[in-house]
Structure 1
Amino acid sequence: MEAIIVGLGVNYAASLAITFTNKWILTNLPLPSVALVCYHFACTFIALYALQLLGVFAPKHVPAKKILPLSLTFCGSVVLTNLSLKYNTIGTYQVLKCLADPLFIVIQTVFYEKRFSRAIKLTMVPMIAGIVINSANDLMFSKNGTIAALAAVLVTSVYTVWVREKQEELNLTPMQILYYQAPQSCILLLPVLFLELVLSGSEISLSTFIPSDDLTKGMMLVNGLSAFTVNLLTYWIIRHTSVITYATFGKLKLCTTMLIGFIKFNDPLDTYQLFGIILTMLGVFLYTLLKLNIFNHFKMSYSKMINSNHQV
């Protein structure tokens, strides 16, 4: 349990770092968003290659076609998520993204015969309701936006479930599976990157991708290391907990990031948004209690106390 808590904490810190550096890089460098994703997976592969040379892990031979479904769904998730962000407001994007939570349960129940208690399912109600309330003032649905968002939710849900299932099916550790999936995904995204450059009409030379000053080099280095850490720990957390736990942790990251922005950077936060955050955090808290079996612990302690009183 201690290892999982540490893993979640490091993942959260790395997520904050990658969010900040992504924003800085995309603001100061004329890079397409897909180029940044390719850079992230290139850094992940380079780091893993160095670790296997140092003997930290041993690569396990796996046919490329076994990893290909995972890589394809990842690339589909990136492209469709970008389309969803393009056609939707942030609030609409967040609300439709919540559909992934029940879809996780449906996919795992129908295709992998996994079962979830009613209590676990009910904790999703305040989590999703909180996100909806928080985003209510920014909802604006359109045909293209809704189609892109629903497609992104479907493909991302399948990818996230496969992150766990493929590790178990192929008997691979997070490092071993990422060692193959990272370069494969990067190569598959290159045609998308080329198309994005052509459609945008951008005149980007090779020098654009090579940082010239120390600040940019530092930001790119931190960004690459953060991407490697987030990618690796995402696989590790999903493997050692569950898809639902990781999705719940994602909502915790979203809420705390908004609160940090409000407290530290004076980002606007209305009363109803604060209520939505509290409601979502309540769902996260209840889910955590259920996973830690706290309710059963209290129930057993109460029963023992009653029995001992009767014996007296």
Structure 2
Amino acid sequence: MGEMSGFQLGVIGALFLSVASSVSIVICNKALMSHLGFPFATTLTSWHLMVTYCTLHVAQRFNFFENKAIDMQTVMLFGMLNGVSIGFLNLSLGFNSIGFYQMTKLAIIPFTVLLETLFLKKQFSQKIKFSLFLLLVGVGIASVTDLQLNLVGTILSLLAIVTTCVGQILTNTIQKRLNVSSTQLLYQSAPFQAAILFVSGPLVDQYLTRQNVFAYKYSPLVLGFIILSCLIAVSVNFSTFLVIGKTSPVTYQVLGHLKTCLVLGFGYTLLHDPFTERNIIGILVAIIGMGLYSYFCTHENKKKQLGDLSPGSQVPLPLSSLAIETLCTGAVHLDIGMAK
């Protein structure tokens, strides 16, 4: 019981860290991109990852964690896949309307469930599938507006969905199969993620913004916000690996949509964004879906522990009620092109 209680506290801590760091970096990046005119999202992400690696390298040198050797080919492919997924998500936002981009993000959950069912033989009950469907409907009602389709944008969105789902599944699978911590995996994969974005980021950003990141005039204020953003990103990247490692890719996506609902409420309350009955209905439906998801996961995990489920069945760990209550204190997320 003590170990289980400690594990649940670890999950709650990981979820809280994920939301808190995401809120902080969104506020910082919103100021940097919208108010200071620095629109280079993909290049900024490469800097985030480089600072993350440097920070973890220093921590490892001071023995804050033990480095564990992982097959180099696995790490390289994993790091490059995550880097590519960020690029595709940003390109998807650039080539599609906001509504279609939101649909792209919504599609990640059912596609992740499909992949885990087909290739990892995980079993999701009808109740969990229904709760996820309810969640997606609610978020869709609240956040999706126009749906303008084009061939290039659709292809990029499909590539973004596939690479993001596979990357998040591998994050969970590699940690468990190779018995490595989230810190160890992030430490070894971050250089490869940073490298691919460092090369492709300026090209992607120039195509999307018609501006050259190297020709941009960096003021002291802009540099200060870039440094702050990079420092916060260390926590964002770490918490992402931590949440997926302790729970599941599906739970991580549910957490992301919880942030979306909180954003809409937060934006209306503090930023006075436009708010309609559709937003309210969508948020309520999504919250019901998340509540059912958490309840069904908890119930099925208890049944599994008691041996009532078949040995091969697996269910994702839930967002505990305490975690949801903690998260509902006012997180904010603004879509400004940062994919992760």
Structure 2 length-normalised TM: 0.80
Q: 2:33 aligns to what? A: 26
Select 2:57's aligned residue among 49, 62, 82: 49
Q: 1:281 aligns to what? A: 287
Q: 1:65 to 1:296 in 2, by over 3 A?
A: closer
- Deviation, 1:294, is 9.1
Structure number with the higher helix fraction is 1
CA distance in 2, matches of 1:95, 1:203: 30
**What is the CA deviation profile of residues 129-173 of structure 1, one whole-angstrom value per residue up to 9, with x for unaligned ones?**
112222453222222222221221111111111110111232211
Q: 1:147 aligns to what? A: 155
- Deviation, 1:127, is 0.8
1:121-160 aligned within 5 A? 121-160=129-168
- For 1:146, the aligned partner's letter is T
Say if 2:60 and 2:67, in contact at 8 Å, map to a contact too: yes
* Two-structure CA RMSD over aligned residues (Å): 2.4
Q: 2:17 aligns to what? A: 10
- Deviation, 1:292, is 2.6
Q: 1:73 aligns to what? A: 81
Q: 1:158 to 1:295 in 2, by over 3 A?
A: closer
Q: Is the deviation greater in 272-281 or in 90-99?
A: 90-99
CA distance in 1, matches of 2:270, 2:31: 18
Aligned partner of residue 148 in structure 2, secondary structure: coil
- Deviation, 1:64, is 2.2
CA distance in 1, matches of 2:149, 2:143: 13
CA distance in 1, matches of 2:135, 2:194: 33
- For 1:180, the aligned partner's letter is Q
CA distance in 1, matches of 2:206, 2:165: 30
Q: Percent identity?
A: 27
- For 2:86, the aligned partner's letter is V
CA distance in 2, matches of 1:136, 1:242: 25
CA distance in 1, matches of 2:145, 2:176: 42
CA distance in 1, matches of 2:107, 2:64: 38
Say if 1:127 and 1:281, in contact at 8 Å, map to a contact too: yes
Say if 2:84 and 2:197, in contact at 8 Å, map to a contact too: no
CA distance in 1, matches of 2:10, 2:173: 21
Aligned partner of residue 274 in structure 2, secondary structure: coil
Structure 1 length-normalised TM: 0.87
Q: 1:270 aligns to what? A: 276
Q: 2:336 aligns to what? A: none
Aligned partner of residue 273 in structure 2, secondary structure: coil
Say if 1:289 and 1:295, in contact at 8 Å, map to a contact too: no
The number of aligned residues is 295
CA distance in 2, matches of 1:238, 1:278: 26
Select 1:178's aligned residue among 176, 186, 200: 186
CA distance in 1, matches of 2:182, 2:75: 13
Q: Does 1:225 pair with 2:244? A: no
Gaps in structure 2 of 5+ consecutive residues: 1-7, 304-340
Say if 1:84 and 1:149, in contact at 8 Å, map to a contact too: yes
Say if 1:132 and 1:276, in contact at 8 Å, map to a contact too: yes
Q: 2:242 aligns to what? A: 236
- Deviation, 1:207, is 8.1
Q: Is the deviation greater in 198-207 or in 139-148?
A: 198-207
1:62-211 aligned within 5 A? 62-196=70-204, 199=207, 202-205=211-214, 208=217
Gaps in structure 1 of 5+ consecutive residues: 298-312
Q: 1:40 aligns to what? A: 48
Say if 2:79 and 2:191, in contact at 8 Å, map to a contact too: no
CA distance in 2, matches of 1:61, 1:138: 47
- For 2:122, the aligned partner's letter is K
Aligned partner of residue 145 in structure 2, secondary structure: helix
- Deviation, 1:220, is 2.7
| Larger Rg computed on CA atoms | 1
CA distance in 1, matches of 2:194, 2:165: 20
Q: 1:168 to 1:145 in 2, by over 3 A?
A: same
Q: 1:198 to 1:283 in 2, by over 3 A?
A: closer
